[in-house]
Structure 1
Amino acid sequence: MPRRNNHRPRHTAPAAEPSSIRIIGGEWRGRKLDFPAIEGLRPTPDRVRETLFNWLQAYVPGARCLDLFSGSGALGLEALSRGAASVTFIDRAPEVISQLRSNLNRLKAQNAELIGRSAPEWLEQRLPDEEVRYDLVFLDPPFRQGLAGPVCTLLEQRQLLADEALIYLETEKELALDQLPANWQLYREKQAGQVAYRLFLRQPAEQ
C-alpha cells in the first residue's frame, strides 16, 4: 500500500512580475519597456506624460536632460525618443539601473548616462563651474520625504542649470513650494488626482 503523504504542498510567494511603460511619442513611439516592481516606484502616468511633453515639444530636441529619481525612466526615455541630445539618469536602486541599462541597450540608445547614486548625494558632490549645465530637468522624488525643496536648492547651488532651463517637478498636491529658488518662474501647472505637476522656467540668478 503506497504511503500517504500528509504534508501539504508549500506555497511560496510568487516573485513580483515587472511592470511596463509605453513610450508615447517620437522614434520609439509604442515601444513597451519593463521596469522593476519596487515599493514606491510609480511611473508618471501616460496622461500626465502626454501633457508634459505637449508643453515641452519645442524644447526637447537637442536638450541636455537630467532625470533625477529616475525610477522607471519614463521621462528620460520619452525625452530621448523625442530627440534630446542626452539624458543622465540618476537612481539609487541597483535593480532600477540594471533595468534601465537593459532597456537602453534594447533601444540602441547611445546618448544616455546611468549613475547609481541617490539624487541628493550625487548633487552634493557636483563642483560648481565644472559640470554640464542641463537644459531640462525631470524631478519626481518619492512623496512625503521632504526631498523636493533641498534637491531644487542643490541644482542652483551646484550651478547645474542652463540660463533658461526648464524644470519639471512632480509632487504630492498638498506640498507647499516655499523652498524653491526665487529665480524659478512657474510656467505650467496641473493636477491629476493626488499629484501636482508643474513646469518651471529658470531665470539667470542675479549676480
Structure 2
Amino acid sequence: MRVISGTARGRALKAVPGMGTRPTTDKVKEAIFSMIGPYFDGGVALDLFAGTGGLGIEALSRGMDKAVFIDKDFKSLETVRQNLKATGFEAIAEVYKNDAERALKALAKRDVAFDLVFLDPPYRMKNGDALMEQMDEMQLLAPQATIVLEYESSYAYPERFGRFNQIRKAEYGETAVSIYTYDSETDAVQTDDQGGATT
C-alpha cells in the first residue's frame, strides 16, 4: 500500500498486523479519489473505521487541512500513527480509540463539522446509513459534505435517504463504493422497507 498522489505521493503505508482488517486496495482508493477529488482546497476529514488510515492520509496528501482517525482496535491505531509519522502528517491529524457510535457522540460535543467522511465498516456491519443519519442529527457535517461509503457489493444501500443523495456508485469485485452528498438545506427523505424514497 502507498500514498497514490499529492504531497506524500509514493510513501509506503504499513498494514495492520493480522487478518482483522480489510484495507482498501490502491486500485479502489485511486478510483474513490478520482470520483470525489482528485484534490481538495482545505477542509476537515473523518476516517471513522480507520484501519491503516490509508483513506484519511490520502485525503491529507491531496489537500485536506486536517483529519480525525478513529478505530476501536489498538493495533489499527498504532498502524495509523506509524503511517502518519511516515507521511509527515502527525501535526494535522488526531487519532482516537473508540467505536463509531461513541466516537460520534464525543465529536458532537466539540465545535467540528466534517467536509469529507470515509465510512468503511466491517462487511458484517450494515449500518452505514444509520451512522450517516446520526452525523446529521448531531450536526457533524458541513453543508454539501461528501460521504464515501464502502461495503460488500452483494448489499445495497438506498440511493436517497434523510438528507443524503447518492451521486456515484461503483463496484470492484466484492467491494462496492457509494458517494453521497449531504444537503443540510433540504427536508429529510424517508425510505420505505424496500429502500425506496417516500415523501
| TM-score interval, smaller chain | 0.7 to 0.9
d(CA) in 1 for partners of 2:58 and 2:43?
12
Structure showing greater Rg: 1
- Aligned positions of 1:147-158 closer than 5 A: 147-158=127-138
> In structure 2, do the counterparts of structure 1 residues 120 and 172 end up closer, same or farther at CA, with 3 Å as the change threshold?
same
Deviation at 1:39, TM superposition (A): 2.6
Could you give the per-residue CA deviations for residues 138-168 of structure 1, whole angstroms, max 9, x where no partner exists? 1100002233232122111111001100000
1:186 partnered with 2:146: no
Correspondence for 1:98 among 62, 65, 78: 78
Counterpart of 1:114 in structure 2 is: 95
Distance 2:160 2:121 in 1: 14
The answer to whether residue 63 in structure 2 is matched with residue 83 in structure 1 is: yes
Partner of 1:136: 116
What residue number does 1:68 align with? Answer: 48
For residues 86 and 192 of structure 1, do their structure 2 counterparts lie closer, same or farther at Cα, with a shift above 3 Å needed?
same
SS in 1 for 2:149: strand
- 2:104 aligned partner: 123
C-alpha distance in 2 between matches for 1:30 and 1:147: 33
* Residue in structure 1 matching 2:178, options 186, 194, 198: 198
Residues 1:203 and 1:114: Cα distance change in structure 2 (over 3 Å): same
Contact 2:116–2:147 (Cα < 8 Å) also in 1: yes
Q: What's the counterpart of residue 12 of structure 2?
A: 32
- TM-score of the aligned structures, taking structure 1 as reference length: 0.82
Aligned to 1:165: 145
Identity among equivalent positions (%) equals 34
RMSD (CA atoms): 2.0
User: What SS is found at the alignment partner of 1:35?
Assistant: coil
Unaligned runs of 5+ in 1: 1-20
TM-score, scaled to structure 2: 0.85
Counterpart residue identity of residue 30, structure 1? G
Unaligned runs of 5+ in 2: 188-199
